[in-house]
Amino acid sequence: MHTGRAATRALLTAELGVTRATAGAVAAELEALGLILVDTRPAGPSGAQGRPSHRLDVAPGGPVALAAQVHADGFRAALVGLGGEIVATAPGTMTVPADPAHVLGAVVEAGARLLRDSGRVCVGAGLAVPSAVAEPEGTALNPLHLAWPAGAPVREVFAAQIARVGILGPDGEPVPSFVGNDVNVAALAEHRHGAGRDAQHLLVVASGHRGVGGALVLDGRLHTGSSGLALEVGHLTVLPDGRPCHCGSRGCLDVEADPLAFVEAAGRAPGPEVSLLQQSIDLLQQEYADPSVRAAAQVLIDRLGRGLAGLVNVLNPDRILLGGLHRYLLDADPEALRAVVADHSLWGRSGGVPVLACALDHNSLVGAAELAWQPVLDDPLAVLGV
């Protein structure tokens, strides 16, 4: 139901590999928990043998997860229902101060307003941050484009704000809190609901407001390494004599293929009125005829393609998704980017790895909600049957 593979009771029966009676009992149980609606009057051919089957729909007004995202320019809160659907969202612009409690308090309050207005049950809260998140501590290890100190205990602070604002779950206690890296959770969302569906080894590379992030979904699970810090693809060297990077190296993807690098390559000054990401997208979409913009796009495509080729050689993914600035570079010249990847990778040359754009709006928010939905997906009765 959550990934859209069981639109009818017959499909549910097939997906679960159980008898029709068992699938019927499961559907009735999920309906009793307020998660889904079972159409009582079957119509239309949709069963495995062309027999009419009961339609299953996500219940309108059903439970939601509170999703929160913090980025260099502020935050966004959202409510996300079963099926990964955003049912309400609210942005907030602010300079993020050093104490994480400020922005996390603001985003939780925005989420609480959305919950009040919707009247829905909340199953949990998930937060996406532009930093590697160390596990099991839940600390933001390198929030480089925020003023937060390295190692800020974001999960603890987020949970404290949830408790302070009084966001309660079905059991009357503050809802559980989860935190993940924004690109990691975006990859999870794309794998379940977007352009990454059915990929076995899904590589996602994206550049939001600053820096470059990556994620790998292996057989449906995020690969986060031994302590949550895998896939720091931003620190692949793509230009040995390039600009210095905050990691101590030079010419990293992080500083050579993000929106600031693009704006500078196009000979423009960063404008204060819009974010660097929006400025970059505007240049690509509205001024691509300008030779300096076109040349900058080719420079960035070359750097990004070399980085992707290195990752293809190491990881052998069966699909690559690009997000943020990178999906707009792909849109600008898909053949050029795919050619650079193919020219510099062993597996890319032989078979070709599909390089596609991320498909979901706000995929980090949907992914943050995935973290909060997971306990319900694992055991609906334990969370909602209280």
Q: What residue ranges bind Zn ion (CB under 5 A)?
A: 235, 245, 247, 249, 252, 254
Q: Residue 361 corresponds to which tokens in the numbers above?
A: 């709006």
Which C-beta is closer to Zn ion: that of 230 or that of 247?
A: 247
**Whole-angstrom Cα distance, residue 315 to residue 223?**
11
Closest approach, Cβ 307 to Zn ion, in A, equals: 12
Closest CA to 322 of 169, 215, 163, 211: 215
Closest approach, Cβ 210 to Zn ion, in A, equals: 13
Closest approach, Cβ 325 to Zn ion, in A, equals: 17
Closest approach, Cβ 39 to Zn ion, in A, equals: 54
Closest approach, Cβ 187 to Zn ion, in A, equals: 21
Which C-beta is closer to Zn ion: that of 2 or that of 235?
A: 235
The answer to whether 114 touches 79, Cβ cutoff 8 Å, is yes
Which C-beta is closer to Zn ion: that of 254 or that of 302?
A: 254
> Where on the phi/psi map is residue 292: left (φ > 0), alpha (ψ -120 to 50), or beta?
alpha
Which C-beta is closer to Zn ion: that of 258 or that of 302?
A: 258
DSSP state letters, 2-71? TTS--SBHHHHHHHHT--HHHHHHHHHHHHHTTSEEE-SS--SB-STTS-B--BEEEPTT--EEEEEEEE
Which C-beta is closer to Zn ion: that of 204 or that of 233?
A: 233
Closest approach, Cβ 226 to Zn ion, in A, equals: 21
Which C-beta is closer to Zn ion: that of 68 or that of 252?
A: 252
Task: Give the ranges where the chain is alpha helix by DSSP (H).
Answer: 9-16, 20-32, 100-118, 154-165, 182-193, 253-256, 259-265, 276-286, 291-315, 325-332, 334-343, 346-350, 363-378, 380-384
The answer to whether 305 touches 340, Cβ cutoff 8 Å, is yes
Which C-beta is closer to Zn ion: that of 245 or that of 308?
A: 245
Closest approach, Cβ 299 to Zn ion, in A, equals: 18
Question: What contacts 74, CB < 8 A, 6 or more positions away?
Answer: 91, 92, 93, 94, 96, 103
Closest CA to 357 of 288, 281, 289, 292: 281
